[in-house]
Chain A
Amino acid sequence: MSLPFLVFFACALLAVVGAVRLILAREPIHSALALILLMISLAVLYLLLGAPFIAAVQILVYAGAIMVLFVFVIMVLNAGVEERTDFSKIAKYAGLPLAFFLLLWIAHWLAHAPAGSAIATGAGAPTVAFSTVELSEQLFRPYLFPFEATSILILIAILGALVLARKEE
């Protein structure tokens, strides 16, 4: 087995372990730590896919900024052990089989992807990384308007967060 496969399976295992720990943990802070593990292993996978800029953004923005916000809120609200209630019968008898069939369907679709297509073989996956220069040219030429719109979105989000979290007099 070659090195990319080893790295992929190690990171995939870590990511799945992180997701399962997020579900099983009873303390929210443990869930947050499991999610950080998942995000960092996804960043390694982005490196493996040849997207170093996205990997850096993943660690800086997701594992850094967003998760710090989560941990901060958990700390401020002093969130303790989660109360458990029985989940509904619909979820148990309809939801779980449906989720299972969804996974089966996706697996079936992937297995029957046309042989030799880019998805099945990874042949369209050159080992050269996407260059950050090309990405920024995409971002600032054809996608300039959506990019500017996101800055307005962030501004509105900041204002909304301030208004919502303000203590009422």
Chain B
Amino acid sequence: MSVPVSYYLVLSAVLFGLGVVAFVFKRNVITIFMAIELMLNAVNLAFVAFARAYNQLDGLVFVFFVIVVAAAEAAVGLAIVITLARNRESLNVERVNLLKF
């Protein structure tokens, strides 16, 4: 007897919600990036669960692509963080307010 797919979907939703909370409430720009990775992970779990529910491999292919895009995004994002820290001498997003209305 295997675990129903809906359990995985609930876990995925909870993790995504926690990721949104972290994204909104954290003040450190590196931690905000980690929150994005957390949301991507939650979505991956939903993809694999649906792939299992419908017994289709396409979901797994999409997970593969999401992981690749996450890797690219982490590389570029962390380069931006390094530049930001060099220019502002702070990692607090409150200090980065040039584009803030």
Binding site for B on A (CB under 8 A): 2, 4-5, 8, 12, 15-16, 19-20, 22-23, 28, 31-32, 35, 38-39, 42, 45-46, 48-51, 53-54, 57-58, 61-62, 65-66, 69-70, 73-74, 76-77, 79, 82-85, 87, 91, 95, 99, 102-103, 106-107, 110, 113, 118-122, 124-127, 130, 134-135, 138-139, 143, 146, 150, 153-154, 156-158, 160-162, 164-165
Contact = CB atoms under 8 A, between A and B. Distances in A.
Interface in B69-96: 69-76, 78-83, 85, 91-92, 94
A118 B78 CA distance: 40
A33 B44 CA distance: 20
Contact of A16 (B8, B14, B63): B14
23 contacts: A2-B1, A4-B2, A19-B18, A19-B38, A22-B31, A28-B30, A32-B34, A42-B44, A48-B3, A66-B70, A69-B74, A69-B75, A73-B30, A73-B82, A77-B85, A83-B27, A87-B24, A103-B14, A110-B10, A122-B2, A122-B6, A154-B72, A157-B73
Given A4-B3, A153-B68, A165-B83, A50 B52 contact: yes
Contact of A122 (B4, B17, B26): B4
Interface string B51-75: 1111101101101110111111111
A61 B81 CA distance: 21
A111 to B, nearest CB: 8
A153 B76 CA distance: 11
Contacts of B1: 2, 4
